[in-house]
Amino acid sequence: MRNIKLVIEYDGSRYDGWQRLGKNSGQMTIQGKIEEVLKKMTGEDIEISGSGRTDAGVHAYAQVANFHTNTDMKCYEIKHYLNRYLPRDIAVLDVSVVDERFHSRLNARSKKYLYRIAIGDVPSVFDRKYTYYCFDRLDVEAMKKAAAYLVGKHDFIAFSSVKRTKKSTVREIYDIDIYGDEKEIQITFHGNGFLYNMVRIMAGTLMEVGKGERTPEDMKTILESKNRECAGITAPAQGLFLLEVAY
């Protein structure tokens, strides 16, 4: 049995997220769509594992997944078949055979996410599914100062929608890069892992700093509070992209 690794790009606008929840959930998910095509291709009941469970409306430039199969199809044949029969808002960028012990989620060493905030004079009709439009002027320098407090190893439970968990909520953020021009602000988060809604809550809180509703120093207080209610809004899903997974 071979272990096949996929690198996948998708527009998450019309999907209920990555993860398929049960065989008869009635949800339309990225995982479910790919598994349907793989079953048609191989005749096998295949379950793919993704590097992370992107939420409804979230996009990916390079999601990584893997699955086991007995098919003897070549990698380029698998890639061609998937791209022929998958919906046009899901594309397989690369297919490769990997070690049987490789697991896309458990072996991931770091991830990068991108959050896009549109700030032009008029909201773009064509970018509305891929950016969050902010009607307020944002102070990018204040946002950069605030982001610096998040870099490093911290307990990020205050920046997560996790209710209760026995697992550690400590994560390490390697870098937060904020770029802005007259039309858009882009925030790139690079870390060893992220909690549920963590990137969107950090983005939402940074926007509140940019609006002057919070000070950069508030980030330290929020981290120390370990209380979700102390952090800012959960930024809308459409602005979020899974950018890269490193192994």
Task: Give which of 104, 105, 43 is closest to 73, Cα–Cα.
Answer: 43
DSSP-derived secondary structure for 22-88 = STT-----HHHHHHHHHHHHHSS----EESS-PPTT-EEEEEEEEEEE-----HHHHHHHHHHHS-T
Residue 203's H or E segment, with its range, is helix 198-210
Q: Match 């925030």 to its residue by tokens.
A: 187
Active site residue 55: yes
Out of 55, 136, 139, 218, which one is annotated catalytic?
55
**CB-side neighbour CA atoms (13 Å) of 179:** 7
CB 147 within 8 A of CB 218: no
Q: Match 């959050």 to its residue by tokens.
A: 115
Residue spans of beta strands (DSSP E) within the chain: 2-10, 49-50, 59-69, 90-98, 110-118, 132-133, 152-155, 170-180, 184-191, 240-246
Structure tokens at 222: 């929020």
The CA distance from 164 to 222, in Å, is 18
Q: What are residue 243's DSSP bridge partners?
A: none
Q: Give me the active site residues, please.
A: 55
